[in-house]
Amino acid sequence: MKISGNKYNRMEFAGAFGDLGTFIPFVVGYITINKMDPLGILLSFGLFKIFAGLYFKTPMPIQPMKAIGGAAIANPELVTHGMIWGSGIFTGLLWLIMGLSGAIDILARITKKPVVIGIMLGLGLSFIYDGIKMIAAEPIIGIIGVVITFLFLTNTRFPAMLLLLLFGIIISFIRAPELFSELIKTGMHLRLPEFGILNIDREGMINGILMLGIPQIPLTLGNAIIAITAENNRLFPNKKVKERTIAIDHGFMNIFSTAIGGVPLCHGAGGMAGHVRFGAKTGGALVILGVMLVIIGLFFSDSVAVLFKIFPAGILGVILCFAGLELASVAKGIGWEKEDAYVMLATAGISLWNIGVGFLAGLILYYAIKYRIIKV
């Protein structure tokens, strides 16, 4: 299907917001629960979205690291800013070394297709589950959002995402009319980031590595390096990437993000699924959202909490569900040899609980079957 210039631009703009379902909850959690400065977070996200869009030229997502973010937000009384930044430095250096040394290539070679697809299936199902929970919190809004999305999912003139966001904004103003006056009062003033790396003490670094950084390693390897490489190369065969490139990018990205007071970042396969599902076909979608985040961070960071209120949880749940459906649909490419399907489903099932454990378990099961240690 050929898309005209204006329709193409609309789809790229719509696709730019396809990752909000995971982006907003984590960012809001870091800001409101962990009391982190929004400036460093938004600026690092924005700058690397722009970089990723221009460099990879595909909707290569920039997301918060899930294990680190989840642990930090769930335990604000234990996790300090220094620990979060320390985990970012650790994971950045780790993947930089893995990429530059070529060690990541070895891991990529031993990771087989059923394991990768199992990770993506498990992650997709977890997105669907989390999305349904968010929809259940606001069922009427969520159900209407689902209907809007299905009706306009392939419409290039009226992209589903733009209609979905418009519906959410209208609902937010109807439910909380005072939100409009809060937005009008939002002041614009330039702020520059502080260097978070200077505020990491020895204890913060050690605890950040042990409590946050190490548990994140298998999740990043399975989802944010190997799975995202496979997803990018499947969707964009003319713009292929290598695991080594993605690993090195993780290194620089996290060292820089931490340096300006941001949070640990990654390239999650679910984010690409969300961008693509809602219309993104190039890196232009990331540049669009990246520029917006840089402007918000530099000039409106004190008003982020107000700005994010215009996205109801039910709408974010719809976005998350459809990103999950897009990602999980990759399972159609596994074929139906019993052994491969067995590994894929086992990996997916365990990944619903923990993607890192699912990745390791899938590898062990694959090679145990291959070398006839066990039979299925």
Domain assignments of the chain as residue spans, ordered by start: 5-332
137 — pLDDT class (breaks 50, 70, 90): very high
374 — pLDDT class (breaks 50, 70, 90): confident
Identify the pLDDT of residue 280: 93
Per residue in 46-58, pLDDT (tens digit) is 999 999 999 999 9
Q: How many CB atoms lie within 10 A of CB 371?
A: 8
Per residue in 162-177, pLDDT (tens digit) is 999 999 999 988 988 8
Dihedral in degrees, nearest 10, Cα atoms 69, 74, 78, 84: 10
> Distance between CA atoms of 236 and 276, rounded to whole angstroms?
11
128 — pLDDT class (breaks 50, 70, 90): very high
Share of the chain above pLDDT 70, in %: 96
Per residue in 5-39, pLDDT (tens digit) is 566 688 899 999 998 888 988 898 899 889 999 99
Identify the pLDDT of residue 198: 72
